[in-house]
Every structure is written in C-alpha cells, then in structure tokens.
Amino acid sequence: MHAHIYTYIKTRTDEVSAHQKNLVENTSCDRLEVDVLITGCEASLWIGEQFASDMQNLFPALRVVAMSANKVIGKLHFCLRDVLINSTSHIERETSY
C-alpha cells in the first residue's frame, strides 16, 4: 500500500513540475505587467526583496517585483499628473468647439 501511495505522489509531483515548466516556457520574461508588487523602506524593503525572491522561485510564471515605497509614490505621482494633464486638455478641446 505504501508503494502505491508513493507512486501516486511521485506521479502527481512530476505532472505539476511539467505543468510549471510549460508555464515558464510560455511566459515572456520581457513582459511589463507586474503580478505581485512588494514595497517597503530600508529594512522592510530588504525583507520584501527576500520574500520576492522566494516567491519568484515558488511561482516562476509570476512576475514578482520588490520596489522602494518612495519610488512607487514617485511613479504614481507622475501617472496622476499625466492623467490630470490629459483630462484637462481633453476638457479644453471639448469646450472650444
């Protein structure tokens, strides 16, 4: 009975490994989308980077990024500014007609 259970577990493990390998091969490393973003400052960023590394090893098909919280806030500020500028210019064009 133990041999049967071992064979079943080994077969399932091989199937999961093959599936993960297939996911990794079909996933582009150059994609820009981030699946998991981990932020932090100083010591917590270091811990976040370690966690991101572990998570990337466990889930190779995911794109896991660790980034400074200050950098994220800066990028969000630029995105918000671009949205406000684009929406204002769009409103001005609509009212000029």
Question: Which tens digits make up the pLDDT trace of 37-94?
Answer: 999 998 899 999 999 999 999 998 889 999 999 998 888 877 777 666 666 555 555 5
96 pLDDT exceeds 60? no
CB-CB contact of 72 with 37 (8 Å): yes
Whole-angstrom Cα distance, residue 47 to residue 4? 41
Domain boundaries, the chain: 2-95
Whole-angstrom Cα distance, residue 75 to residue 39? 13
CB-CB contact of 75 with 54 (8 Å): no
Find the mean pLDDT for residues 16-25.
Answer: 62
Residue 66: how many CB atoms within 10 A of its CB? 20
Would you state the pLDDT for residue 54? 94
- Minimal CA–CA distance to 76: which of 39, 30, 25, 24? 39
pTM for the model stands at: 0.51
